[in-house]
Amino acid sequence: MNDTIAISGHRAPRDAMDPSALGLAAAAAAIRQGDIASEAYTAALLARARSLAELNAFISIDEAAVLEAARDADKARAAGSAAPLLGVPLGVKDSYLTKGLPTSLGLDSLAHFVPREDADAVRAIKRAGALVFGKNNLVEMSYGLTGHNARYGQVKNPHKRDHVSGGSSSGSAASVAANIVPASLGGDTVGSIRVPASFCGVVGFKPTTGRWPRNGVAPISHTLDTTGVFARSVEDCILLDQVVTGEQAAEVFDGGYDLKGARLAFAPRQFLDLVDSEVETRFRDVLRRLQDTGAEIVEVDLGDDFNSLIQTATWGIFAHETMGAISEFLRRHDVPTTFEGIYEGLKPQLRQAWGHIVLPGGAGATSAEAYQTALKVSRPEIRRRLDTAFVAQGAQVILQPTTPCTAPSIEEQATVRIAGQDVSYLALANHTVSASSVGLPGISLPVGLSRAGLPIGLELDASPGSDRTLLVLARKLEGVLGTTDRNLAP
């Protein structure tokens, strides 16, 4: 497969549609070509944000500042600038430091903290001409999967307001799905991009761990954390990936969606064991459609204990590294609080969880010995198992439902019902945690709606470092499955 990538040209009609419906690449092209001014585009998005304020997708939006930045972008264009994201407003998860804009990390105590620096990824998008539209709501300290924040409100699913958005990058996913912004930066440790992408019906891309810069983003685990993006198409993720990494395309994507030669793996015993019937039916239908388009589908078995292996190792690393990672971040970036101060201010359920698994004396804390075993024994074994697909079977990606169910209702988010069983909400990450465990790149694509009108996601995971191949293949699948340019606004 040719894994070189480029963005094809766009031209938005002048008479056109509601500008808020433009995707990232289309909006950037429209501004660059003079079809729309950044100020007019930004004003339309601000109006939409106000009309959809009940979603709680943003913690803060400085309307005057973003409009001024848009006017500056229009002046830069008039002066000849052709920056790739010139004048396009993006959402930014409120775990990213943003110079001159409040950065709360989802905490009440940091509601008025204004950093003196940008996170590296924010600096990259600004350098490409993008504007920070606002700071997206998130679960406190990115510790949760449903989108509940005690201080800033539950982020609601744009498809059904009484259902969760997913988390922890909850507002980022919801704001893209609701056409408030064309893309938003998020973060993913065990599924915090892919879970909300699946629930909200957008594309969510988690790069290979370490591919995108993490400096300036509030951490959970230095082993597992990665920054990434939500967008409405794979093409838009490709554009953001190029901007953030600096890797440019060698040639233009040919636009073809022929899957002949593509070899795709799935592991039913591992990833269809606890899945709602409607999600499984849609997944198997997707497999048939991909086969009909020329893809070769191979079934793999990752072992009876694969799920328990990744769960134990990954959650153990996640919890063991939290205290040290947060403490170092606060010190390095002069954040005016302490780990102890954050702990004391957490909502009761989260404080109880941290007391159990994060604090060294907690009853569920991972011992130093168990942590080293997870790093040096379990992770290499997980990688060896996954190589049965990538190496032994020659698969380019492993496919699975991104989440085992559609978005639960807000009232039932602590204990969720999957395949007739009542389980912990942590089960929402049962599928995403495997890529996180060893740093694989992963992307979630929307593949339609349930009978209740809730999105269903398809995850593609590839071997570490093969992000560009993953993105090209994901774009082909997107074309085959008919998800390209779908308007997911409510």
Query: Is 172 in the active site?
Result: no
pLDDT in tens, 423-480: 999 999 999 999 999 999 999 999 999 999 999 999 999 999 999 999 999 999 999 9
- Assign 3-class secondary structure to 119-175: CHHHHHHHHCCCEEEEEECCCHHHCCCCCCCCCCCCCEECCEEEEECCCCCHHHHHH
Q: What is the pLDDT of residue 18?
A: 87
Q: What is the pLDDT of residue 384?
A: 97
Q: What is the pLDDT of residue 254?
A: 54
Tokens of 10: 């766009």
Q: Is the pTM of this model over 0.75?
A: yes
Q: CA nearest 61: which of 69, 305, 416, 410?
A: 69
Residues 231, 237 contacting (CB under 8 angstroms): yes
Catalytic residue among 38, 93, 135, 198: 93
pLDDT in tens, 125-152: 999 999 999 999 999 999 999 999 999 9
- CA–CA distance, 167 with 150 (Å, rounded to integer): 14
- Amino acid identity, residue 237? C
Catalytic residue among 175, 192, 434, 444: 192
Query: Is 51 in the active site?
Result: no
Q: What is the pLDDT of residue 145?
A: 97
Query: Is 126 in the active site?
Result: no
Which residues in the chain land under pLDDT 70?
1-17, 249-256, 483-490
Class of 19-481 per CATH? alpha beta
Q: What is the pLDDT of residue 489?
A: 42
- CA–CA distance, 94 with 470 (Å, rounded to integer): 28
Q: Report the Cα 376 to chain-centroid distance in Å.
A: 28
Q: What is the pLDDT of residue 139?
A: 98
Catalytic residue among 104, 168, 378, 437: 168
Indicate the angle between helix axes 24-32 and 38-51, nearest 10 degrees.
140
Residues in CB range of 342: below 8 A, 6 or more apart? 107, 109, 141, 326
- Amino acid identity, residue 466? S
Q: CA nearest 213: which of 82, 117, 311?
A: 117
Q: What is the pLDDT of residue 472?
A: 95
